[in-house]
Structure 1
């Protein structure tokens, strides 16, 4: 995955539209499915919990499948990019302890993964206006920069690939 520049206002606008659309689709479709099932299979006891639950589950599965299919649509490109970025950062986060230990010993792949993580996190936090923890990110970046100078490593995040994480 490569980091790309995202227009914050466009991203927020499209994210809000996707969220509202998902909520509306989930609510309408789950009600429609559960009410149809209740109409077809009425309960003598008056409890329709299982039909309501089935309506929500089927609607959620349908919504997820629809979002996956629409992921390449230009109108949600920014939202899909952030979704993919969060998944890529999560993969790195799971191996963070091992990556930091390897970077401390001079491993260039570990340093590259950490650099991608820091730049991706910075972009993500700025898009979501989550700048509260930016100081801890800056401290981690300063430590990485020190290791980069110490081991004379050149980091170009365009060369980062998630497959390199398998070594850690």
Structure 2
């Protein structure tokens, strides 16, 4: 997955609308389904927990289906890109201890994966205005650059391929 610059204002606007839309759909849909089930199948004891739960589950499945169906729509471009980038970074994070150990030994794939993780994190943090940890990231990037220079490894996030994680 290539790192691309996206329009922060458009991303935030679309993400907020998607979140609000999903929240409203969940509230309205689950209430409508559960109230319909309660009206059709009343419980003598007055406990309708299972109907409420079924309403939430069915509505969640419908929302998930709709999000998946419209993930390729132009409106969802930035939202889906950030979601997929977060998934890619999570895969790296789960193997970060092994990657760092291999990186200290000069493994170019490990160094590239770590570099991609730092570059992707920087992009995400800028989109979310999470600039508090940027100084810490800059220190880690400088350490990574010095290790890469020590082993004469050139790091370019565009060269990252998720398949290299399989060896770690």
Pairwise same-fold verdict (TM > 0.5):
yes
Q: Distance in 2 between matches of 1:69 and 1:106?
A: 43
Unaligned 5+ segments in structure 1 are none
TM-score, normalisation: structure 1: 0.97
2:94 aligned with 1:94:
yes
Q: Deviations over 1:28-82 (max 9, x none)?
A: 1101110111111011111111100110011112211211221111101000000
Q: Deviations over 1:76-103 (max 9, x none)?
A: 1000000001000000000111111111
1:132 maps to which residue? 132
Secondary structure in structure 2 of the residue aligned to 1:109:
helix
Matches within 5 A, 1:39-118: 39-118=39-118
TM-score, normalisation: structure 2: 0.97
- The runs of at least 4 consecutive aligned structure 1 residues that moved more than 3 Å come to none
* Number of equivalences: 168
Aligned-residue CA RMSD in angstroms?
0.9
Q: Deviations over 1:121-163 (max 9, x none)?
A: 0000010011111122111101100011101111222221111
1:157 maps to which residue? 157
Unaligned 5+ segments in structure 2 are none
